[in-house]
Amino acid sequence: MERIHDMIVIGGGPAGYTAALYAARAGLDVVIIEKMSAGGQMAVTDTIDNYSGFDAGVAGWDLGM
Ligand SMILES: Cc1cc2nc3c(=O)[nH]c(=O)nc-3n(C[C@H](O)[C@H](O)[C@H](O)COP(=O)(O)OP(=O)(O)OC[C@H]3O[C@@H](n4cnc5c(N)ncnc54)[C@H](O)[C@@H]3O)c2cc1C
């Protein structure tokens, strides 16, 4: 079945997520295409430090989800 989207974001890392989030908030029908796993590089990282809202760090996979 054919479906027309307003916007397609290539890559599901932080940059892609942010672009898709803002597009959705603006009312666009947006889809993300990711070739690896949700979260991008952070998904293959044990612990993410210096990320707003997580003063003790957060597991990369958890943040990606
Ligand atoms: C080991 C490691 C530790 C890190 N630790 C920290 C940390 O502690 N704190 C911190 O702030 N940052 C950390 N970083 C950096 C952080 O992960 C990156 O700055 C961030 O992920 C960049 O986000 P991005 O969306 O620009 O790119 P990426 O995360 O690289 O996302 C790009 C996505 O695009 C996908 N993609 C590419 N080409 C295609 C295609 N043709 N079709 C479909 N999908 C495609 C990729 O699979 C990927 O998921 C770390 C990085 C690594 C590798």
pLDDT in tens, 7-34: 999 999 999 999 999 999 999 999 999 9
Q: Give the confidence band of 38 by pLDDT, cuts at 50, 70, 90.
A: confident
Position 37 scores a pLDDT of 87
* CB 24 less than 6 A from any atom of ligand 1: no
Region of residue 3 (left: phi > 0; alpha: psi -120 to 50; beta: else): beta
Burial class (CB in 10 A: 0-12, 13-18, 19+), 45: middle
Position 64 scores a pLDDT of 86
Position 65 scores a pLDDT of 85
H-type alpha helices, 1-65: 14-25, 60-64
* CB 14 less than 6 A from any atom of ligand 1: yes
Domain boundaries, the chain: 7-64
Average pLDDT of span 53-58: 94
